[in-house]
Amino acid sequence: MLLTFFRSIILYIIVLIVMRLMGKREIGQLQPFELAISIMIADLATIPMTETGVPISNGIVPILGLLVMHLIISIINIKSMKAREIICGKPSILIYRGEIDQKALKKERFTINELEERLRNNNIFNIGDVEYAILETSGQVTVIPKPNKRTTTPEDFNIKPKYEGIAYDLVVDGKVMYKNLEKLGKNYRWLQKQTEKFGIKPEEALIVTIDGANKFFCQAFKEEEK
C-alpha cells in the first residue's frame, strides 16, 4: 500500500513536469497530436501506478519518449507550414458571408444544432447575426458577427482612449511581490506608505494592486481569515 502511494506521487510529479514542458494550452485548445500524447501519457502513468509488480521505469521512460516526440513535432510545425497542415489540419469556414456552408458542415460532421451550440458559447443567439464562423484546428469555433451586430469600440466614435497599461500585484495573501515593485522602480518603503493610507501594513493585505493610471486597489484580511 505504501509502495503504491509513493509510486503514485513520483508518477504524478513526472506527468506534471511533462505537461508543463508541453506548454500552457487549455484542454479545449489542444491540437490533435497534443491530445493524443496527453491521453497516452495518462494511460502509461496508470499501469505502473497501480501494478506494483511493473517497474516504475516502464512508465517513466515511455512518458519521456512521448515528451521528446511532442517537442520534435512542435519544432516541425514551426519550421514547415505543409507539415503543419498535415499534422494539425486547416481551419474550415462553416459560415461564409452570412451563409451556412453545407459542404463544410458535412465534411466536418457538424450538425446545425452543434453549430448553434458553438455560436451560443460565443454569445451569439441568432445564427442570422453571423458573418463568418470558422472551425479552428483545435476544435474551437471563432465567430465574426455582422458589422451591424458587433460591439462598438471607441474607434467607431473617433475616440482615442488614454493608455492604460496593465495592473500589477503588489501584495498577494500578505506576501509582498518584490519583483513587481522592482519593475515599477519602487521599494518596500514606498509600498508601506501606500498601504498606510488604507490603515494597514503590506503584510496585512489580502491583495494590493496598481494599474497604469496609478490607481490602487487594496483589501485587508478579514480577522477570521488571518
Domain ranges across the chain = 2-86, 92-149, 168-225
Amino acid at 115: L
50-69: burial string, b at 16+ Cβ within 10 Å, e else: eeeeeebeebbebbeebbee
Check if 92-149 and 168-225 are the same fold: yes
Q: Say if domain 168-225 classifies as CATH 3.30.240.20.
A: yes
On average, the pLDDT of the chain sits at 86
Task: Give residue-wise pLDDT tens across range 108-125.
Answer: 998 999 999 999 999 999
Chain centroid, CA 111 distance in Å: 27
Local structure of residue 150 (DSSP, 8 states): S
Classify domain 92-149 at the CATH class level.
Answer: alpha beta
| Residue 220: strand, helix, or coil | strand
Structure confidence at residue 29 (pLDDT):
63
Strands (DSSP E) found in 19-160: 92-96, 99-100, 130-135, 141-145
Task: Give residue-wise pLDDT tens across range 71-82.
Answer: 888 888 888 888
